[in-house]
């Protein structure tokens, strides 16, 4: 699949996904706004209904138990006063006859019959009734402070002293109405006097600050009369009251889940396609490199064979020996390439197993380096070793250990273009053999170091195209180390050479 098509496909999906997310967010915001409006309407309706219920109650029904007696006493005194005034009003010819009836110093005193005044039985009954009412009123007045203007205001004008309210009743009415109107969030309820910033009631003292700043503030009124323009019934809720229906909640969650799922699947698919594309490119490069690597020694061998058929060369022993050596070298080169490919393929099989035996790592290094002496010499390079004695025993697969060393040294030479200086060292660190292969080559960037052990991956060499390989050598080395339960690392800087460090466990 072409790179441009993958980029186009990814871009189109990204635009579609972003559009879906924007639409979903817009719908959620619209739903939240609608829900918030519905919530506010429900709360307002609940409070209106509470005040309607208060309007239908008598004052003594929504004041506290402590204050109810006084309110009833005041109301009783007012009733007695009204009855006394009715008697005077309906019998004015009797009460305003100065020759028959005398009052005390004020109208609050008893009405008495004057001496020698003649009253009918009906008039005497009216006068007695008046005095009875007056006596009852005076007894009640002696029990309470009737001069208290607040109580008079409460009884006569239905105004409310917030300290006298029956707060449990009010709290219960509000919560009941909120539930009826579909608000199932537990509120904090309070009575706030804003001028003095006084909370007369707070159902949860921990939320007093929220109550003072809440947007849910309602002027307190009862019996249709505003008792104090600074007195408010206030409510606060524990969180933003976004109330969605059960179906809306499910649909929102499902939509978000599907968007995330589709996005994840698309990203996975694109990554898979991208990986497949890279793998195809690496396989193509591998085939091209392999073809070139095998084609070159075949052509060299063919040319050497043609030369050996020349009669003049047959009699020249030295020349003949050189061509035979060339054929052997190129044949060995092809054999190593093919063996590396086959072994790498075998290691990918889960059933692959090593043939372990006691191996002398220093001997394997010495043997492997012999085949590179001539190559190093031809490049005017230097091959240095520092092989320390090992006290432990290494159990390993000799063939793969030998191939591993060969690959590391071969890589070091290939990526050291000018007079390569290769150094191979071994030493023991506790229960580990440490093998290091260093070069003075082109080095490996930090980004390439993340991928050098991947199959078919080859380090970029810029404008240089003379470094041949399949991209499986370091992957093969990595697999050998892993199968021996060892560790491999690389230390390198661009232009400063590289050092591969291998730890293999001792028995």
The per-residue pLDDT of the chain, averaged, comes to 79
End-of-domain residue from the set 324, 339, 369 = 324
State whether 498 and 393 are in the same domain. yes
Region 135-151 average pLDDT? 67
Backbone angles phi, psi at 99, to 5 degrees: -95, -5
Q: What is the pLDDT of residue 157?
A: 47
Residue 360: closest CA among 401, 407, 403: 401
Inform me whether the pLDDT recorded for 23 exceeds 60.
yes
Least confident of 231-235, 334-338, 407-411: 334-338
Inform me whether the pLDDT recorded for 135 exceeds 50.
yes
Q: How many helices (H) and strands (E) does the chain have?
A: 16, 15
State whether 37 and 184 are in the same domain. yes
Tell whether 375 is covered by a domain.
yes
The kind and range of the H/E element at 398 are helix 398-414
Residue 170: count of CB within 10 angstroms of its CB: 20
| Buried-state track 410-432, b at ≥16 Cβ within 10 A, e below 16 | bbbbbbbeeebbbbbbbeeeeeb
Q: Which residues contact 208 (CB under 8 A, 6 or more apart)?
A: 190, 199, 202
Tell whether 189 is covered by a domain.
yes
User: What pLDDT band is residue 490 in, cutting at 50, 70 and 90?
Assistant: very high
Inform me whether the pLDDT recorded for 495 exceeds 70.
yes
Q: Quick one: angle between helices 473-483 and 398-414, nearest 10?
A: 150
Residue ranges with strand state E in 171-220: 188-193, 198-202, 216-219
State whether 373 and 469 are in the same domain. yes
Provide the 8-state DSSP code for 196.
Answer: T
State whether 186 and 272 are in the same domain. no
Residue 199's beta-bridge partner residues?
192
Chain segment 284-309, per-residue pLDDT in tens: 766 766 676 677 678 778 877 877 77
User: What pLDDT band is residue 257 in, cutting at 50, 70 and 90?
Assistant: confident
Residue 111's beta-bridge partner residues?
103
| Buried-state track 151-164, b at ≥16 Cβ within 10 A, e below 16 | beebbeebbbbbeb
State whether 115 and 170 are in the same domain. no
Q: What is the pLDDT of residue 498?
A: 94
Least confident of 319-333, 368-382, 408-422, 483-497: 319-333
Region 355-370 average pLDDT? 90
Domain span holding position 441: 353-505
SS3 436: strand
Inform me whether the pLDDT recorded for 388 exceeds 80.
yes
Q: Which residue has the tokens 């490119």?
A: 281
Of 311 and 153, the one with more pLDDT? 311
Percent of all residues in the chain with a pLDDT value above 70, rounded to a whole number: 78
pTM of the model: 0.44
Q: What is the pLDDT of residue 358?
A: 93
User: What pLDDT band is residue 131 in, cutting at 50, 70 and 90?
Assistant: confident
Inform me whether the pLDDT recorded for 444 exceeds 80.
yes
State whether 416 and 304 are in the same domain. no
Query: Which range has the top average pLDDT, 2-16, 54-68, 257-271, 397-411?
Result: 397-411
End-of-domain residue from the set 122, 156, 190 = 156
Tell whether 102 is covered by a domain.
yes
First to last CA, the chain: 49
State whether 472 and 368 are in the same domain. yes
State whether 400 and 491 are in the same domain. yes
State whether 219 and 169 are in the same domain. yes
State whether 291 and 210 are in the same domain. no
Provide the 8-state DSSP code for 231.
Answer: E
Tell whether 267 is covered by a domain.
yes
* Rg for the chain, CA atoms, rounded: 53
Q: What is the pLDDT of residue 59?
A: 59
Contact 63, 71 (CB under 8 A): yes
Chain segment 446-470, per-residue pLDDT in tens: 888 888 888 777 766 554 445 555 5
State whether 430 and 362 are in the same domain. yes
Q: What is the pLDDT of residue 326?
A: 79
Number of domains in the chain: 4
Tell whether 319 is covered by a domain.
yes
Inform me whether the pLDDT recorded for 245 exceeds 50.
no
User: What pLDDT band is residue 323 in, cutting at 50, 70 and 90?
Assistant: confident
Q: What is the pLDDT of residue 503?
A: 95
Least confident of 60-74, 93-107, 311-325: 60-74
End-of-domain residue from the set 123, 156, 189 = 156
Chain segment 184-216, per-residue pLDDT in tens: 888 899 888 888 888 888 888 888 888 888 889
Q: What is the pLDDT of residue 360?
A: 93
Q: What is the secondary structure of 294-322 as a DSSP string?
A: HHHHHHHHHHHHHHHTSHHHHT-HHHHHH
How far apart, in whole angstroms, are the C-alpha atoms of residue 207 and residue 191?
A: 13
Indicate which CATH number applies to the domain containing 384.
Answer: 3.30.565.10
Tell whether 336 is covered by a domain.
no
Q: What is the pLDDT of residue 437?
A: 95
Q: What is the pLDDT of residue 191?
A: 86
Inform me whether the pLDDT recorded for 93 exceeds 80.
yes
Count Cβ atoms within 10 A of the Cβ of residue 76 and give its class: 0-12 exposed, 13-18 middle, 19 or more buried. middle
Residue 347: closest CA among 337, 339, 359, 357: 339
Q: What is the pLDDT of residue 244?
A: 44
Chain segment 54-92, per-residue pLDDT in tens: 766 665 565 665 666 666 677 777 788 888 888 888 888
Tell whether 271 is covered by a domain.
yes
Percent of all residues in the chain with a pLDDT value above 90, rounded to a whole number: 14
User: What pLDDT band is residue 342 in, cutting at 50, 70 and 90?
Assistant: confident
SS3 57: coil
Take residue 124 and report the two structure tokens written for it: 């005497």
Contact 282, 471 (CB under 8 A): yes
3-state SS of 139-154 is HHHHHCCCCCHHHHHH
User: What pLDDT band is residue 394 in, cutting at 50, 70 and 90?
Assistant: very high
Residue 397: closest CA among 482, 473, 470: 482
Provide the 8-state DSSP code for 166.
Answer: -
Of 378 and 222, the one with more pLDDT? 378
State whether 12 and 87 are in the same domain. no
Tell whether 384 is covered by a domain.
yes
Contact 221, 191 (CB under 8 A): no
């Amino acid at each position: 699949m072409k790179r441009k098509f993958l980029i186009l496909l990814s871009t189109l999906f990204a635009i579609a996904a972003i559009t879906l997310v924007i639409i979903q967010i817009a719908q959620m915001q619209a739903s939240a706004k609608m829900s918030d409006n519905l919530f506010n309407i429900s709360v307002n309706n609940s409070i209106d209904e509470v005040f309607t219920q208060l309007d239908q109650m008598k004052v003594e029904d929504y004041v506290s138990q402590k204050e109810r007696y006084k309110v009833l006493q005041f109301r009783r005194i007012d009733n007695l006063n009204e009855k006394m005034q009715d008697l005077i009003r309906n019998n004015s010819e009797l009460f305003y006859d100065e020759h028959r009836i005398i009052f005390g110093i004020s109208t609050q005193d008893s009405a008495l019959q004057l001496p020698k005044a003649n009253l009918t039985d009906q008039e005497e009954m009216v006068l007695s009734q008046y005095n009875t009412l007056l006596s009852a009123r005076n007894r009640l007045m002696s029990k309470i402070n009737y001069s208290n203007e607040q109580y008079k205001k409460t009884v006569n004008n239905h105004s409310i002293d917030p300290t006298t309210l029956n707060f449990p009743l009010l709290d219960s009415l509000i919560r009941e109405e909120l539930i009826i109107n579909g608000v199932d969030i537990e509120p904090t309820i309070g009575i706030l006097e804003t001028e003095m910033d006084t909370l007369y009631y707070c159902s949860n003292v921990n939320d007093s600050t929220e109550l003072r700043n809440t947007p849910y503030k309602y002027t307190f009124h009862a019996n249709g009369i505003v008792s104090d323009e600074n007195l408010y019934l206030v409510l606060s809720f524990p969180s933003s009251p976004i109330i969605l229906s059960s179906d809306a909640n499910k649909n929102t969650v499902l939509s978000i889940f599907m968007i995330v799922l589709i996005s994840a699947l698309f990203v996975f698919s694109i990554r898979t396609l991208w990986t497949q594309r890279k793998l195809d490119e690496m396989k193509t490069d591998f085939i091209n490199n392999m073809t070139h690597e095998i084609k070159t020694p075949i052509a060299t061998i063919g040319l050497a064979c043609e030369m050996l058929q020349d009669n003049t060369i047959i009699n020249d022993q030295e020349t003949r020996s050189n061509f035979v050596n060339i054929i052997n070298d190129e044949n060995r080169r092809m054999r190593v390439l093919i063996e590396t490919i086959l072994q790498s393929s075998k290691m990918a099989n889960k059933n692959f197993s090593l043939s372990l035996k006691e191996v002398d790592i220093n001997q394997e290094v010495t043997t492997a380096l012999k085949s590179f002496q001539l190559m190093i010499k031809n490049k005017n390079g230097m091959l240095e070793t520092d092989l320390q004695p090992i006290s432990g025993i290494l159990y390993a697969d000799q063939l793969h250990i030998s191939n591993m060393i060969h690959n590391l040294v071969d890589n070091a030479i290939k990526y050291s273009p000018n007079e390569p200086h290769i150094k191979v060292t071994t030493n023991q660190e506790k229960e580990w053999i440490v093998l290091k292969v260093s070069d003075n080559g082109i080095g490996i960037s930090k980004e390439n170091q993340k991928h050098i052990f991947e199959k078919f991956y080859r380090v970029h060499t810029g404008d240089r195209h003379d470094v041949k390989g399949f991209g499986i050598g370091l992957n093969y080395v990595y697999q050998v180390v892993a199968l021996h339960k060892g560790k491999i690392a690389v230390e390198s800087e661009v232009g400063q050479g590289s050092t591969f460090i291998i730890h293999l466990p001792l028995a």
